[in-house]
Amino acid sequence: MNKTLLAIDIGSSNITAVIARNNLDYKINILGTGSSKSSGINKGVISNIEAASKSIKDAVLIAKKNTTEEFDSTIVSISGAYTKGIRSAGSVNVPNGLITENEINQVLQMALYNATIIPEYEVVHVIPISYKIDDSSDVENPLNMNGSRLEASVFVLTAKKTALTNIKSAMKIAGLSVNNFILDGYAAAISVLDEQQKKFGATVINIGSTTTEFVCYRGHSMIYNGFIPVGSNHITNDLSVMLHTPPLAAEKIKTEYGDLLKTSEELTNKKIRTPRIGDEKNSSEVSLEYVQTIVHARVEETLSLVKKDLKKSGIHESLGAGIVLTGGMSKLNGLKELTTLVFDNFPTKISNPVNIENGYLSFEDSKMATIVGILLYSLEPNRGFELDSNKNLIKKRKTNENTAKMEDDIALSTAKEKVVQKEQPKVRREQDTSTSKTNPDSATTLTRLPENSKKKGVGKIWNMITEWF
């Protein structure tokens, strides 16, 4: 059945609205798109309902200019800033011996019923991690299988009721209602991960303007999510503070000169002039090497905080497909290499979302990962069974068995290759011999910042980070 959807991604820097529908062949047809600058949103959380409402309304009005078709439902992204993930399990009897969608729904509802949910939180996702039929464990899809008892282990994502209520209020003021919610990190993962990455385990790190969100996948299921209130805007702020230059000038410096791969030799003798705060008619001279040190410090610390969270969760070493970077800051030159180093030579790649062909714009951009994931989640359900924020069962679309088998074969082959890559990492320590054109001994990105550099060059930044966390 065709349905027309309004998808809204509420970001800290921009709000994106897309009106789309699915065709009979499950192809997504984009009808209209709109974007507006975010207002009243701070680090993923609504701080001013009136301002946020206006930003949402502006984006939707732009999207509606391109189509006269009315949408049937609205789905909105939520930030990981106010979410908690918990594990639960449930089991049900199978009276007729054949497992149908009804039994799958029942077992997921039972697992949700058994979950210990904090009163101030409500359910957003219930995602099965694994199934068990009688004595057979690790069943991927129990539909149409035979047995007398079905068990499910699930990941339950919850969000603060007040945060969700604020979103609904902002939407209502804009003349809109909310039919469903989706975690933005989950949406990003849906759009950028391929089947082998989902199966063998990967972490998607989505670095935005003011937040960094990460989601862990394993066995085709989201098993963990995390949030850090730090993004690319913090690099701008660091540059502004350390260089004593206005934020607009700092943003320009970040955009034009932010680079983690430039060698020390390339940067030592290169200088730029920057306007001074409060005295913009005059300027100061700073070295690009110092600029890179500031950028490097913030990015390395952000990645280190993600790594610390993952290690604490106990799943860091079980993500065979490694790290996948997306979001606006993933375009920073050298981010992939630094991430590989911080995460102890885990396979790392920068991934763009699946491009949805349309006549408006290209969605094949890392900044569009969340909105593309929302559309795939809503209009092209091919992940498996799960419960949405209304506790309704999302049904898996049927796929060709031969195609699925071929994907599994490719996945296994790719996983083996990545294991070899992990044993023989491309990013080498200083004493290794590099085959690249750049000498690793002089490349800032291939070494962690020395403690004295952190203390002397960017001491203020590190003190602020310590206070925040």
The pLDDT tens digits of the residues spanning 284-301 come to 999 999 999 999 999 999
Taking only Cα atoms into account, the Rg of the chain, rounded to an integer number of angstroms, comes to 23
Q: Which residues of the chain does CATH 3.30.1490.110 include? A: 83-160
Residue with tokens 């970040």: 254
**pLDDT band, very low/low/confident/very high, at 359 (cuts 50, 70, 90):** low
Cβ count near 468 (within 10 Å): 11
What's the confidence (pLDDT) of residue 453? Answer: 52
Q: What are phi and psi of 205, to 5 degrees?
A: -105, 115
Tokens of 182: 């989706």
| C-beta atoms surrounding 3 within 10 Å | 12
On average, the pLDDT of the chain sits at 84
The larger pLDDT score, comparing residue 106 to residue 395, is at 106
Supply the pLDDT for residue 267. 73
Q: How far is CA 338 from the centre of its chain?
A: 18
Exposed / middle / buried, residue 460 (Cβ in 10 Å: 0-12, 13-18, 19+): exposed
Identify the CATH class of 196-350+442-469.
alpha beta
pLDDT > 80? residue 304: yes
Residue 280 has a pLDDT of 74
Rounded to 5 degrees, φ, ψ at 273 are: -105, 135
Check residue 423 and give its pLDDT. 42
Measure the CA–CA gap between 206 and 213, rounded to whole angstroms: 5
CB atoms within 10 A of CB 252: 15
Q: What is the pLDDT of residues 335-348, one digit of tens each?
A: 999 999 999 999 99
Question: What is the percent of the chain where pLDDT is above 90?
Answer: 64
Average pLDDT over residues 151-163: 98
* CB atoms closer than 10 angstroms to residue 182: 24
The residue-averaged pLDDT of 200-226 equals 94
Q: Which residues does 85 contact at the CB level (< 8 Å), separation at least 6? A: 155, 156, 157, 158, 224, 225
Q: Where in the chain is the domain with CATH 3.30.420.40?
A: 196-350+442-469
Residue 218, strand partner residues = 221
CATH number of 83-160: 3.30.1490.110
For 389-415, the pLDDT digits (tens) are 999 999 865 444 333 443 444 344 334
pLDDT in tens, 309-325: 999 998 877 778 899 99
423 against 158, higher pLDDT: 158
| DSSP-derived pairing of the beta strands 202-207 and 212-218 | antiparallel
CA distance 126 to 105: 11
The torsion angle over the Cα atoms of residues 368, 385, 312 and 426, rounded to 10 degrees, is: -50
Residue 65 above 70 pLDDT?
A: yes
The pLDDT assigned to 137 comes to 85
Instruction: Assess contact for 23 and 2: CB atoms under 8 A.
Output: yes
- Please report which confidence band the pLDDT of residue 461 belongs to, taking 50, 70 and 90 as the band edges: low
Residue 119 pLDDT > 70, yes or no? yes
Q: Of 433 and 260, which is predicted with more confidence?
A: 260
Q: Which residue has the tokens 């009315």?
A: 70
Q: Residue 82: what pLDDT?
A: 96
pLDDT of residue 403: 36
pLDDT at 438 > cutoff 70: no
Summarised one tens digit per residue, pLDDT across range 160-181 is 999 999 999 999 999 999 999 9
pLDDT tens per residue, range 193-206: 998 999 899 999 99
- Give the least confident one: 137-151, 397-411, 452-466: 397-411
State the pLDDT at residue 254: 94
Instruction: With a cut of 80, say whether residue 467 has pLDDT above it.
Output: no
Which is it for strands 386-387 and 45-46: parallel, antiparallel or unpaired? unpaired
Cβ 126 vs Cβ 111: under 8 Å? yes
Find the mean pLDDT for residues 246-272: 86
Structure confidence at residue 219 as a pLDDT band (50, 70, 90): confident
- The pLDDT value given to residue 320: 85
